[in-house]
Amino acid sequence: MQKDLEAKFLKDFEKNQNIAHKICRIYTSNKSAHNDLFQEITIQVWKNYPKFRGDSKFSTWMYRVALNTAISLYRKSTRRVKTQDISNLAYKIKATDYDDTEEQQLKALYKAIHTLNDIEKALIFLYLEDKPYKEISETLGISSVNARVKMNRTKEKLKNILNP
Amino acid sequence: MDLLDNYKKAWTNQPEETSKLSAIEIYKLAHSKSSSIVKWIFIIGILEFVILNSLYFFVDMETVMEEYRKIGLENFIYYSNILAYIIIFYFLVKFYVNYQRISIVDSTNTLMNKILKTRKTVKNYVIFNLAYVAILMMVATTAKINANYTDLNTTQIFMVVGATLLATLLFLGVLWLFYQLLYGFLLKKLKRNYKELAKLNSTN
């Protein structure tokens, strides 16, 4: 029984690990912090996996567990971003098969997101991942209206940083 | 097209992580030790219960009780101790129930609320203990002064009261500082994020 569950977890997590990697890129600014947060997310997903009932998609469930780990359970603060750390982002992103302009845009986007606070980061991340407002408000525990208002403000803020 | 839409496209097209983990690596990570603040709050909370309650082992209770007997506080100490243990038990149960209720599958808001609530139980427990000790000290000092009233002059009475107060305040001050550091270190980020969400829910 336990072995079955473990095998299922490993399969699900391996397939969806990019969700955790993206969250780590947003909430941390160097490789060791990235790995540290990734480890904690893996532990939390595994620990709570028996409670995953399968009435939603695994990925939807994992978004919530991973974001909650980054916002509430993970202690190390990464408010200040050092420029040399940001340039390190290159090591995480494959340069091949990737449009040059888009690569620049992606780097600028990550850099801009790093200046936001933890809650704004979560909002923008869920927007970029194309999540509906209902899911965003349920994940964060705020009303749909509030999610919408804050999202618009955060998007404006991000635009100003990207295009001052 | 909106400026952000371009960036969103770049986001969607971003390549997957180069160093993807294999199932074996994930297995190892999943079974490693967690360093989450919930775990630390639980460990520190339990330590506080244990340490505060084991302090009694370091005190020679016989001598202390003899002292209390002399100033006629025997019954007061006996009944207040029973009451204190009932209250301590209540805090312990509440702490455990609150801890059990913490679930990472909750919404961020609820999760943070539950973590802070668990921490608050420990805080209230410590406040209760300190208040209990303070009351005990005050009662004992008053009883002692009463018992030796004829032998003491006014200056001596003031000195006893003053010294007791000063010692209590100093002890509380050091403890408060220690708590600020310990929980400040642990909960700074969580509190900041919780406030941010609360602000969102109240102003819009």
Give me the helices (H) in chain A, please.
2-27, 31-48, 58-68, 83-87, 100-114, 118-128, 133-140, 144-162
Mutate to test the interface with B, among A72, A119, A123, A155 (most CBs of B within 10 A): A72
CA distance B40 to B120: 14
Total-model pTM = 0.83
What pLDDT does A86 receive? Answer: 46
Contacts of A8 by beta carbon, 8 Å cutoff, 6+ apart? none
What pLDDT does B103 receive? Answer: 92
CB B128 within 8 A of CB B85: no
Domain that holds residue B61: 36-203
Q: A5 in contact with B at a CB cutoff of 8 Å?
A: no
What pLDDT does A84 receive? Answer: 43
Contacts of B19 in chain A (CB under 8 A): 92
CA distance B122 to B119: 5
In tens, the pLDDT along A122-161 reads 999 999 999 999 999 999 999 999 999 999 999 999 999 9
Q: Is residue B1, in this structure, part of any structural domain at all?
A: no
In tens, the pLDDT along A6-35 reads 999 999 999 999 999 999 999 998 888 999
Structural domain total, chain B: 1
Buried b (16+ CB within 10 A) or exposed e, A136-162: bbbbbbbeeebbeebbeebbeebeebb
The ipTM assigned to this model is: 0.82
Distances (CA, A) of B194 to A43, A89, B93, B141: 23, 29, 26, 44
Q: Which CATH architecture has domain A1-79?
A: Orthogonal Bundle (1.10)
CB-CB under 8 Å, B20 with A92? no
Segment B135-151 mean pLDDT = 81
CB-CB under 8 Å, B201 with A142? yes
- Domain borders along chain A are 1-79, 116-164
Find tokens 């960036």 and name the residue: B7
Cα torsion angle, B29, A65, A70, B181, sign? negative
